[in-house]
Amino acid sequence: MLVGIAAIIVFFEIAFPVLFAYGYTHFGRSFVPHARLGVPYDDVTFTTADGLKLAGWYVPSKNRAAVIVLPASGRSGPQEHVRMLARHGYGVLIFDPRGTGESEGDPYRWGGERDVKAALAFLRTRPDVDRARIGGLGLSLGGELMLQTAGETDELKAVVSEGAGIRSIREQMLKSGPAKWVTAPFWAAQTAAITVFSNHAPPPNLRNLVARISPRPLFLIHSGHPLGGEELNTSFYAAAGAPKQIWKIPDATHTGGLEAHPAEYERRVVGFFDAALLDAATP
């Protein structure tokens, strides 16, 4: 009996997270769906600082502002956010992160901020885009990457992050109460395994990164049915400087805010970018 219990604990706290880590770093999604953006777009490529060519779609801007949209799985993820922003005249870039779709490289769990920075560099060369009017909207892992990028460079002028949560043991230990210790071994094992498989050190704690974003505007969105530690958005919000907003959507699933409340989501998110980017002064 005790041997069986021990085996179950070892599987879920060590073997299971190691398998997850192997999948994150070795198996990318090669599928690129048909574009259903509702507006004209261009097939584009751009190159990261470490020499990888990434592929994406770009909707040209009509208002001199542009937003990078990054679902966790890139172009194989939802396209509704692209359509929403394009309806309001925003240039929109959505792309396949490294190791997925038509982009080069190995799949990532950490290090994807290099892809976001390459997307920023691409938009800053566009004649239809004012470089002082570039924002980012990320979902789940994409939201985490937007927070990290904004914490590391001021080129991202406004950020909407939906469903960001735990990336490593560093965020896991932000949880309050003794319950965090129950799943701490899982996150510790996964953190160690990803470090080995990807040859990449764990990224900085998101709470520390969020604190560096101000005075650029930040909008955090999270679900009432949290997944992957997205309840930590309240901690991220507390650490952030002004201007900042947070919206908990009680009846939404993970990154399901637009589906749960399409009209309100569009009003809030587009209103946020309008205030943050359309009033931005060109330097």
For residue 183, the model assigns a pLDDT of 76
Is a pLDDT exceeding 90 seen at residue 166? no
For residue 276, the model assigns a pLDDT of 98
- Relative to beta strand 53-59, strand 66-70 is unpaired
pLDDT band at 170 (very low <50, low <70, confident <90, very high): confident
pLDDT digits (tens, 9 = 90+) for 64-98: 999 999 998 899 888 999 999 999 999 999 999 99
User: Which overall architecture, per CATH, does domain 31-167+203-278 show?
Assistant: 3-Layer(aba) Sandwich (3.40)
Look over the chain and give the mean of its residue pLDDT values, rounded to a whole number.
87
For residue 15, the model assigns a pLDDT of 53
Q: Read out DSSP for the chain?
A: -HHHHHHHHHIIIIIHHHHHHHHHHH------PPP--SS--EEEEEE-TTS-EEEEEEE--SSS-EEEEE-TTGGGS--HHHHHHHHTT-EEEEEPPTTSTT--S---SS-THHHHHHHHHHHHT-TT--TTSEEEEEETHHHHHHHHHHHH-TT--EEEEES---SSHHHHTTS-STTHHHHHHHHHHHHHHHHHHHT-PPPPPHHHHHTTTTTS-EEEEEESS--TTGGGHHHHHHHPPSSEEEEEETT--TT-HHHHSHHHHHHHHHHHHIIIIITPPP-
How is the chain split into domains, by residue range?
31-167+203-278
pLDDT digits (tens, 9 = 90+) for 103-162: 999 877 778 999 999 999 999 999 999 999 999 999 999 999 999 999 999 999 999 999
Is a pLDDT exceeding 50 seen at residue 9? no
Is a pLDDT exceeding 70 seen at residue 264? yes
For residue 31, the model assigns a pLDDT of 75
166 CB-contact burial (10 Å; exposed 0-12 / middle 13-18 / buried 19+): buried
Averaged pLDDT, 273-280? 89
For residue 30, the model assigns a pLDDT of 65
pLDDT digits (tens, 9 = 90+) for 182-239: 777 776 777 777 777 767 788 889 999 999 999 999 999 999 988 888 999 999 999 9
Distances (CA, A) of 25 to 49, 198, 218, 240: 20, 6, 29, 30
Is a pLDDT exceeding 60 seen at residue 263? yes
pLDDT band at 281 (very low <50, low <70, confident <90, very high): very low
For residue 16, the model assigns a pLDDT of 42
For residue 7, the model assigns a pLDDT of 39
pLDDT band at 20 (very low <50, low <70, confident <90, very high): very low
pLDDT band at 278 (very low <50, low <70, confident <90, very high): very high
pLDDT band at 5 (very low <50, low <70, confident <90, very high): very low
Rg (CA), the chain: 19
Averaged pLDDT, 42-63? 97
User: Which of 65, 62, 71, 6 shows the shortest CA–CA distance to 33?
Assistant: 71
For residue 18, the model assigns a pLDDT of 52
